[in-house]
């Protein structure tokens, strides 16, 4: 089965609304690959600006987080319905920075993933090991656990539409990229895990990205691997280089 590539930027806590508009305008003439789904993951305050700015292009907008309740007394949180109403299509969930700095658990991420599906949002669930875990040889055990808990009660039909981002923590923002073989090994392991939870059809349909210092110079090799269906890009998504990654096959 041929899966459509999905290249998503994760802007993290960068770009004011004014800067966000300027970045979208900078990228607009450069980001044009009909073979690829392109997503800008942007801070909540930038969503309205970016949704407006990408109108007429094939770019979709992702939130970087979302709460799992419908509404109510959850000061500072953002609900699924708010994101849908604002024009968001994807939600990045369980990024290692949220798991690390904000102590998000796989159980909470699972509740958020289920809420995404209830509201027609597509989750991009991040998973990945620390350097210590890699050195201890427990990378795949750890990631399988993150995937199994993250996908609890998710149906096969829902899972088919989901995106998983494999992001080794030691490669995020460090300039240290996993080799294409290392990234492929884990992405294939994640696909095998999905096949165990569901079936091969679901495993063949779900899209698995690699993230961690992906840039123009290394994206071709990573994206050529059979189980790597795209990239989640931090640093390089904030500059014109992002377009080179989107246009990786040109
Ligand atoms: C990320 O934060 O998801 C990421 C992959 O960052 P970077 O590309 O900067 O390593």
Q: Tens digits of per-residue pLDDT, 25-38?
A: 999 999 989 999 99
In terms of Cα–Cα distance, which of 46, 52, 37 is closest to 15? 46
1 pLDDT exceeds 90? no
* Per-residue burial over 69-104, b = 16 or more CB atoms within 10 Å of its CB, e = otherwise: eeeeeeeeebbbebbeebebbbbbbbbbbbbeeeeb
- Give the model's pLDDT for residue 177: 85
- Give the model's pLDDT for residue 91: 98
Q: Is 150 helix (H, G, I), strand (E, B) or coil?
A: helix
Q: Report which protein residue has its CA nearest ligand 1's atom 8.
A: 234
192 pLDDT exceeds 80? yes
For range 65-80, the mean pLDDT: 98
242 pLDDT exceeds 90? yes
Maximum separation of any 2 CA atoms in the chain, in Å: 49
Q: Is 31 helix (H, G, I), strand (E, B) or coil?
A: coil
- What pTM was computed for the model? 0.98
Q: Give whole-number Cα distances, 120 to 51, 110, 233, in Å.
A: 17, 15, 24
Q: Report which protein residue has its CA nearest ligand 1's atom 2.
A: 234
What percent of the chain is modeled with pLDDT above 90? Answer: 96
Given phi > 0 = left and psi -120 to 50 = alpha, else beta, which region is 224?
Answer: alpha
Give the tens place of pLDDT for each residue, 18-27: 999 999 999 9
- Give the model's pLDDT for residue 173: 87
For residue 234, report the distance from its CA to the centre of ligand 1, in Å.
3
Range list of H helices, the chain: 17-27, 47-53, 80-86, 96-101, 106-118, 131-136, 139-150, 156-161, 180-197, 200-205, 216-223, 241-246
| Mean pLDDT rounded to a whole number for the chain | 97
9 pLDDT exceeds 80? yes
Give yes or no for a contact between 63 and 47, defined as CB atoms under 8 angstroms apart. Answer: yes
Q: Report which protein residue has its CA nearest ligand 1's atom 1.
A: 234
117 pLDDT exceeds 80? yes
Reported confidence tier of residue 5, pLDDT bands at 50, 70, 90? very high
Percentages of the chain per state (helix, strand, coil), in multiples of 5: 45, 15, 35
Residues lining ligand 1, judged by CB closer than 6 Å? 10, 167, 172-173, 211-214, 232-236
Contacts of 30 (CB under 8 A, 6+ apart): 240, 243, 247
């Amino acid at each position: 089965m041929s899966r459509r590539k999905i290249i998503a930027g994760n802007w993290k806590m960068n770009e004011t609304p004014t800067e966000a508009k300027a970045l979208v305008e900078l990228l607009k003439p450069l980001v044009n690959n009909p073979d690829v789904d392109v997503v800008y993951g942007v801070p909540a305050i930038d969503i309205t600006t970016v949704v407006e700015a990408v109108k007429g292009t094939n770019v979709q907008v992702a939130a970087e987080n979302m709460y799992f309740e419908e509404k109510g007394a959850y000061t500072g949180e953002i609900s699924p319905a708010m994101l849908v109403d604002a024009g968001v299509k994807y939600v990045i969930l369980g990024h290692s920075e949220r798991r690390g700095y904000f102590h998000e658990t796989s159980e909470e991420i699972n509740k958020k993933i289920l809420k995404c599906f209830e509201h027609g949002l597509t989750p991009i669930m991040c998973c990945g090991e620390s350097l210590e875990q890699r050195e201890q040889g427990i990378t795949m055990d750890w990631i399988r656990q993150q995937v199994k808990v993250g996908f609890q009660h998710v149906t096969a039909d829902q899972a088919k539409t989901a995106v998983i981002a494999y992001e080794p923590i030691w490669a995020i923002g460090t300039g240290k990229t996993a080799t294409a073989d290392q990234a492929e090994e884990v992405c294939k392991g994640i696909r095998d895990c999905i096949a165990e939870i569901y079936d091969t059809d679901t495993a063949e349909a779900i899209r698995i990205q690699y993230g961690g210092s992906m840039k123009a110079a290394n994206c071709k090799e990573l994206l050529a691997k059979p189980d790597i269906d795209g990239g989640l890009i931090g640093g390089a998504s904030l500059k014109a280089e992002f377009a080179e990654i989107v246009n990786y096959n040109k």
